[in-house]
């Protein structure tokens, strides 16, 4: 899958081949999937919507440490503020929340990862 280019120490992710929209992988806080669309939430507060599912980006982003915590969410662990056990959500640095599925919570032991 050719969805990225390496440029020095910064990895770029091409999210739209037609317009050549690129974003730094380190700027991505959270990915939210909705059927065949993925919304990228960036640390500067901007969002980018792409006509691909999360599954399309998952193999590449996992090599950069991203975690799939729910069918609809993939998070950058660097931007996780804390894990709210009472509501099974990850609180992100930009104020967003990502749900954690029961199956992924058991397999990853979220409390040890993020607290």
CATH number at residue 110: 2.40.50.1020
- Structural domain count, the chain: 1
Domain that holds residue 106: 4-114
Mean pLDDT, contiguous 10-residue spans, the chain (115 residues):
46 71 87 94 92 90 90 92 88 91 71 60
pLDDT of residue 85: 84
Q: Which two tokens stand for residue 79?
A: 């931007």
pLDDT of residue 105: 73
pLDDT of residue 70: 92
pLDDT of residue 24: 87
> Nearest CA to 68 among 54, 56, 53?
54
Expressed in angstroms, the distance from the first to the final Cα of the chain is 34
Residues 53, 38 contacting (CB under 8 angstroms): yes
pLDDT of residue 13: 77
> Residue 38: which H helix or E strand, with range?
strand 37-42
Give dist(CA 39, CA 55) in Å, integer: 13
Q: What are phi and psi of 3, to 5 degrees?
A: -120, 15
């Amino acid at each position: 899958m050719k969805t990225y280019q390496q440029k020095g120490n910064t990895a770029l992710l091409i999210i739209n081949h037609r317009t050549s929209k690129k974003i730094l992988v380190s700027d991505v806080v959270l990915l939210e999937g909705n059927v065949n669309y993925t919304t990228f939430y960036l640390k500067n507060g901007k969002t980018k919507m792409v006509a691909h599912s999360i599954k399309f980006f998952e193999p590449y982003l996992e090599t950069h440490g991203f975690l799939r915590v729910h069918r609809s969410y993939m998070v950058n662990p660097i931007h996780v503020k804390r894990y709210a056990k009472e509501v099974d959500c990850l609180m992100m640095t930009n104020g967003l929340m990502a749900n954690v599925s029961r199956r992924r919570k058991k397999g990853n032991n979220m409390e040890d990862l993020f607290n």
